[in-house]
Amino acid sequence: MTDRLMMQDPRTQYPSPPFDPQPQSMPGIVGRMHPKPDHGEKTYKGAGRLKGRKALITGGDSGIGRAAAIAFAREGADVAISFLPEEEPDAKEVIELIEAEGRKALALPGDVKDEDWCRALVSRALSELGGIDILVINAARQQFRKNVSLVTSEDFDATLKTNLYALHWIAQAAEPHLPPGASVITTASIQAYQPSPILLDYATTKAGIVAYTKALAKQLIEKGVRANVVAPGPFWTVLQPSGGQPDEKVKNFGKDSDFGRPGQPVELAPIYVFLASQEASFVNGEVYGATGGKGVD
């Protein structure tokens, strides 16, 4: 495999559509995707920028959370990941990758739609890692609906609880324990700024994540803790073929980016590492876009 850090044409660095049909039921399994996403399993190289740090990442079994977990471990951090019990096959792979770096790994299976579990997972991470100084609130639900009439109350409730309520519950539980120098990172989306008509509830939550994090950043900086947002565009993750997009859109996913392809999760990992690290010591309440040229405005 070509070293991803070698200078090369970014348009051809990773696979481009059309992709084969690959529908899955939610939440989906990475191992069934083709081509498989690059989360950095073989391509991310660390440099010790998070040595001795302790990270909690929700949705750490796949996609963006998985890429962040791998990168954090290779940068020297111990890492706890939360995930749905159905996602355990993917989570096991991540745990093994973290441990392969000589770092402590903690698996936290459960459903973040449950407030009690959100508070419990923070408590377990604090106890078993010996603290938390990087908090990545990333787990997300995305299920397309072609018309507003098809977005049921159950849909709306599940999306808001996964994407927004859990953000609040986890941040609230973790806040008293975050030391000065800690970093909170949330995952929004280009959907916060350029919402797709088939993602009404998802786009609503992503806009809410931006607003919530910006407000939270103003509070947390008073105790020396920074909070920032990453807003990705089209990234090749299991969220897409497991109901996040119609089959036809999955086939051509990322084609309309400036690169003619979707991003790979590993391409986001350095942003999460930067925001978690002391190199971002003067960065707070910011939104970092990685949208394939679409912008976040």
pLDDT at residue 47 tops 80:
yes
Catalytic one among 202, 212, 272, 288? 202
CB 260 within 8 A of CB 233: no
Higher pLDDT, 14 or 4: 14
- Mean pLDDT taken over the chain: 96
Kindly calculate the radius of gyration of the chain based on its CA atoms and give it in whole angstroms: 18
What's the one-letter identity of residue 51? K
CB 57 within 8 A of CB 136: yes
pLDDT at residue 4 tops 90:
no
CB 96 within 8 A of CB 70: no
CB 272 within 8 A of CB 230: yes
Tens digit of each residue's pLDDT (9 = 90 or more) over 118-151: 999 999 999 999 999 999 999 999 999 999 999 9
pLDDT at residue 297 tops 80:
no
288 is catalytic: no
Nearest to 75 by CA among 93, 54, 51, 94: 51
The hierarchical CATH code for the domain 47-287 is 3.40.50.720
Between the alpha carbon of residue 183 and those of residues 94, 162, 208, 287, 292, the distances in Å are 22, 21, 19, 14, 25
pLDDT at residue 264 tops 90:
yes
pLDDT at residue 1 tops 60:
no
Q: What is the pLDDT of residue 2?
A: 64
Domain boundaries, the chain: 47-287
Q: What is the pLDDT of residue 282?
A: 98
| Phi, psi (degrees; rounded to nearest 5) at 272 | -65, -40
- Cis peptide upstream of residue 89 (ω within 30 degrees of 0): no
Tens digit of each residue's pLDDT (9 = 90 or more) over 198-248: 999 999 999 999 999 999 999 999 999 999 999 999 999 999 999 999 999
